Structure 1
């Protein structure tokens, strides 16, 4: 019995270590505790996040953006409105920045602070772009902003490329939330 517990602890420690390496804090935010949190993300980390939302029966909005992308900047208020409209228990949101890791302090954090972001943001590991894009949607060419919506079972339902209006995003999300009710 003791060896089974040790084995479980060891496996748990390995899983936590793996998660720490794939979805790990990037550069810690300076300043107030309300500073936005930015975590590095690769394909394995994205797969883990999608699996967690699927396990909880939540549809997911996955968005790729960057501070240097003007349409992304224009779309960002719509994403914030979506987050404020749909509680975390209802809709999973994964916002992934394509900014370079060296731009977190100078561009990403100031941008997020300007919008008052109070939820985690992910920074795509530049070494894992191809794998992460393929996981998000194998037919996607990498144009941003891009939003991929998944249903409660984790099935990719729609990919929207270009800046979306809040009404468009909400219409797609409402369809996901209402189709078949809570399964």
Structure 2
């Protein structure tokens, strides 16, 4: 997973693992701006970022299933949910099954990893009660 290519908001390519700081819990949230459940989930992801702050968690807000979407459109969506317009990365649709190990490509989907990088939860679909449990899963 760490070698999968992602596109940064400035158009540069990087491996997904480059975005993960060692020793911190990681949440990877898959979304698309046109996805209704993703739009419902977005405020919960924003709250998760506020709860932990930028120094206590790796939060990768990963846009998928929008190959070729103009960065300005994605930035507009992010501003509408209260997230900084540069606070996302994108992955090509063809790489999504390699990330999820699932050909169904369901979104929203949120992966939660502990500080050691061990998967501890996966949430498929918009499930606010499950999202609300993430801080407890990641607390020391």
TM range (shorter): 0.7 to 0.9
- Alignment partners' CA distance in 2, 1:78 and 1:110: 18
- Alignment partners' CA distance in 1, 2:18 and 2:57: 16
Larger Rg: 1
Q: 1:154 — aligned with what?
A: 117
Q: Do residues 87 (structure 1) and 70 (structure 2) align?
A: no
Could you tell me which runs of 5 or more consecutive residues in structure 1 were left unpaired when the two chains were aligned. Answer: 1-18, 29-37, 179-183
Q: 1:25 — aligned with what?
A: 8
Shift in Å at residue 98 of structure 1? 1.2
- Alignment partners' CA distance in 2, 1:71 and 1:153: 30
1:126 to 73, 88, 93: 93
Q: Secondary structure at the match of 2:61?
A: strand
Question: What is the alpha-carbon root mean square deviation over aligned residues?
Answer: 2.6
1:47 to 14, 17, 24: 17
Query: Aligned pair in 2 of structure 1 residues 131, 149: CA closer, same or farther (>3 Å)?
Result: same
Q: 2:43 — aligned with what?
A: 77
Could you tell me which runs of 5 or more consecutive residues in structure 2 were left unpaired when the two chains were aligned. Answer: none
Query: Aligned pair in 2 of structure 1 residues 127, 140: CA closer, same or farther (>3 Å)?
Result: closer
- Alignment partners' CA distance in 1, 2:96 and 2:52: 29
- Normalising by structure 1, report the TM-score: 0.63
Higher fraction of helix:
1
